[in-house]
Amino acid sequence: RRDPPAELPQWKGGGTTHNLKEIILGRCFTYIRMVNPGLRKDCLKIWETFENAFISKNPCNITEQDYQPLMELAAHPILCNKTLLWSKTNELAHQYTKVQGSLLTLEDTLLGYMADKVTWCGSPSSTEMNYQSCPRWNECTNNSNTIYWKMASKIFAEAACGVVYVMLNGSISQPFRNSSIFGSVEIHHLNPEKVPLVKIWVMHNIEEQSSDSCSDSSIKDLKSIIEGRNIAFSCENDHRMLLKSGNIAPKSPVRKSIIL
């Protein structure tokens, strides 16, 4: 039986994505059967553990502990030299990995794949999910979604080995922000014993005239954070991708936004 919506707290953000359970289960099975076949995970258990992390809880009081069991169940190894991190370049970074075919973002791991573009939250007064509304990040910074992304990002960064690539947005005033998940979580969790070099790519909108964002003061801050952690740093403006042969076939057109 559903609790009447009026009893649920009214937050300013959109509510839980409808059919969340089916979406998460479907994505989990798609991931283990088709995206990364051979990865052995119990999707039903993963869903139950996911649900347990936030159901019947105030979405503004979710802690890392709540998600710990899920993170342990769903995390899996990734290959060296393939990690792509990004900040404020969500769409381009994912278009790039899709066409380039070798680098992986967090969305190419089970934790990122399951949660991409969905919203979820519970409420202390109900065992149902709140489909009406969920907190926006400015209502509480540690809501059920942001804690999830921060933890998944931390695990992804900790697991990285070899060269790590980072795609930043040179068309905004501060390409590097230490308040972003990249700047506050990932950069601090790369392991200098496994990661010798971080390669920054600062990308610009096509219609803009070219500019050197590598000399931007925020990128200099980033350089000193990385070098301070004993990891080598390099920076390139508008990295031109090398496409795997066969990827520019008539049936897979390169989207216009990634032809730079």
Q: Which of 90, 100, 126, 211 binds ligand C8R (CB under 6 A)?
A: 90
Q: Which of 54, 96, 131, 182 binds ligand C8R (CB under 6 A)?
A: 182
Please check whether residue 56 is in contact with residue 92, taking contact to mean a CB–CB distance below 8 angstroms.
no
- Residues in region 147-166 near ligand C8R by CB under 6 A: 149, 153, 156
> Does residue 67 bind ligand C8R (CB under 6 A)?
no
> Does residue 78 bind ligand C8R (CB under 6 A)?
no
Report CA 59 to chain centroid distance, whole Å: 20
CA contacts within 13 A on the Cβ side of 164: 29
Q: Count the site residues for ligand C8R by CB under 6 A.
A: 19
| CB nearer to ligand C8R: pick between 126 and 146 | 146
| CB nearer to ligand C8R: pick between 45 and 233 | 233
Given the rule CB under 6 A, which of 9-17, 101-109, 126-134, 192-200 is the region that contacts ligand C8R? Answer: 101-109
| CB nearer to ligand C8R: pick between 45 and 241 | 241
| CB nearer to ligand C8R: pick between 73 and 114 | 114
Active site residue 80: yes
Active site residue 161: yes
Q: Which of 28, 32, 110, 181 binds ligand C8R (CB under 6 A)?
A: 181
> Does residue 146 bind ligand C8R (CB under 6 A)?
yes
Q: How far is CA 126 from CA 60, 122, 135, 183, 199, in A?
A: 15, 7, 16, 36, 47
Instruction: Measure the CA–CA gap between 124 and 104, rounded to whole angstroms.
Output: 37
Starting at the edge strand found earlier in the chain, the sheet holding 84-87 runs: 84-87, 164-169, 197-203, 232-237
The catalytic residue among 80, 134, 140, 235 is 80
Name the amino acid, one letter, at 134: C
As annotated, the active-site residues are 80, 161
Residues that bind ligand C8R (CB under 6 A): 85-88, 90, 105-107, 112, 116, 145-146, 149, 153, 156, 180-182, 186
